[in-house]
Amino acid sequence: MAPVTKISTDPSGKSVDVWTYRGMIGSLMYLTSSRPDIMFSTCLCSRYQAALKESHLAVVKRIFRYLKGTADLGLWYPKDTGFQLTAYSDADHAGCMLDRKSTSGHIQFLGDTLVSWASKKQLCVSTSTAEAEYVGAASCCSQVLWMRTQLRDYGFKFDKIPIYCDSKSAITISANPVQHTKTKHIDFRMREADKIISL
């Protein structure tokens, strides 16, 4: 996708064939297992499968043109690169044009090898960039804890696992073990969103 692309419902746009679009999205979702660079764009396009327009199809075709031009691009897994678990987290603030929810993204490396990645819309609307980044970092942390448990079963132990985040506010909130009055609403809102989804 072009960096400035903003996808909306486009109610006045021309409708397209649902089955063709869903087939294209399914193919792209399959490719995300080896091409993390298209994860965000593919997940964003998959949100509009209920009411498809030509503008949505144009964005998906652009992803296919990108893949055609970068066929030799892929994941590289060299041997002898170390085995240190490292994670990176990021989030946008109110990036979705429909409901103003933020999107979290995180990746995990073992040495220089990329082993896990995700891009997902957050459950509730964040009131600030710091909150969106904090929720994204929390999602990354839960994935890291799961990976550490799995790797322990194979005999690998990690005491300290760095999680890199580009928000000083989110880092400060994470470093504070006591939830103070300015951040306790985040946990409450996330739990309420979980309850609504489970109903």
Q: For 8-39, how does the pLDDT look when each residue is reduced to its tens digit (9 = 90+)? A: 888 888 888 889 999 999 999 999 988 999 99
Instruction: Say yes or no: 125 and 30 in one domain.
Output: no
Give the pLDDT of residue 66.
Answer: 95
Instruction: Verify that 104 and 147 share a domain, yes or no.
Output: yes
Residues 94, 191 within the same domain: yes
32: containing domain: 18-69
With H, G, I as helix, E, B as strand and everything else as coil, classify residue 12.
coil
Q: What is the mean pLDDT of residues 172-182?
A: 72
Share of the chain above pLDDT 90, in %: 44
Cα 169 to Cα 124, 131, 135, 150, distances in angstroms: 19, 8, 12, 31
- Whether 2 is in a domain gets the answer no
Question: Which residues are registered as beta bridge partners of 164?
Answer: 88
Give the number of domains in the chain. 2
User: Is the domain of 111 the same as that of 144?
Assistant: yes
Considering the domain architecture, whether residues 190 and 157 belong to the same structural domain is answered as yes
What is the CATH classification number for the domain harbouring 107?
Answer: 3.30.420
What token pair was written down for 180? 């103070």
Q: What is the pTM of this model?
A: 0.80
The two tokens of residue 138 are 């929390």
104 φ, ψ to 5°? -95, 145
